[in-house]
A = this chain, B = another copy of it.
Amino acid sequence: MRPDTDPQIRHLPLFRDMVQANFTELMTASYDQIFPPGLEMIRQGDPADFLHIVMEGSVELVGQWAGRECTMAVVRPVSTFILAACIRDAPYLMTARTLERTRIVLVPASDLRSMFRRDPEFAVAVINELAACYRSVVRSAKSMKLRNSRERVAAYLLRHSIIAGGAASYTLAVEKRLLASYLGMTPENLSRTLKSLESNGIKIDGARVIITDRAKLTALVKPDKLIDGLDVGSTATGTGLIT
């Protein structure tokens, strides 16, 4: 494990409050690995052997069925993913694939499970993390069922402008192809939708997003804390609604 790795992990909400000796024990049992871009590091259905912590790079989580697949989330540093599978000692529900060269710390699931039985503060942190993850996915499910694709795209763009500090202009962090899959539509349809949104106060130039009329865009999106909000104190992690 690199010397600079520990502190970054230690200050995550998930590990922040546990006893130092216990944290050290977990880290000692862990592995620090680097994966090349495009590598499938986890296949859905595999047994959950390790909690993954993204240190550098980014990871795509995809769901697969009947030869189809869709992006469920993108995880960025520093955050964890697939906590729930580790806890339940159950198969991963999603496939994980690096989007770029990515450094990951792997914490053995068995150590994790024994640890939250021994360290009450860690148990509470796990509870909070899981509750936050759960709520994020519920929000995501609401968005999918209550909004049409046009509204989802608009909501995504507005939300990320806010994340970018309310900037009137920012750059998309993911390929449009991937974004389309995440939003539950085809790349062609996303492309057309983006163009048509110019009449709703937002313009796209390549990967550049320019908000030309925030009020008009907001009127279309109708932002709602119960869909677009983030639980304070969550890693935003694991849920991966980071995309």
Binding site for B on A (CB under 8 A): 44-45, 63-66, 68-70, 72, 83-85, 87-88, 90-91, 93-94, 116-117, 120, 123-124, 126-128, 130-135, 137-142, 144-147, 184, 222, 224-227, 231
Hey, which chain B residues are within 8 Å of A72, CB to CB?
A: 138, 141-142, 145
Asked if B128 contacts A127 (CB within 8 A), the reply is no
Given contacts A90-B231, A141-B141, contact A124 B117 (CB under 8 A): yes
Indicate if the CB atoms of A226 and B138 lie closer than 8 Å.
Answer: no
Please report the C-alpha to C-alpha distance between residue A134 and residue B132 in the assembled complex, in whole angstroms. 10
Distance in angstroms between the alpha carbons of A173 and B123 in the assembled complex: 37
State how many angstroms separate the Cβ of A173 from the closest Cβ of chain B: 20
Q: Are A130 and B134 in contact (CB under 8 A)?
A: yes
Residue from A44, A91, A142, A227 with most neighbouring chain B CB atoms (10 Å)? A142
Q: Are the C-beta atoms of A145 and B70 separated by less than 8 Å?
A: yes
Q: Which residue of B lies closest to A121 (CB)?
A: B117
Instruction: Please state if B87 and A146 are interface contacts (CB–CB under 8 Å).
Output: no
The residue from B70, B90, B139 contacting A146, defined by CB atoms under 8 A apart: B70
- A221–B231 CA distance with the chains assembled, in angstroms: 36
CA–CA, A84 and B130, complex, Å: 8
A124 → chain B, closest Cβ, in Å?
6
Q: Is the CB of B66 within 8 A of A222?
A: yes
Complex: A78 Cα to B124 Cα, angstroms? 26
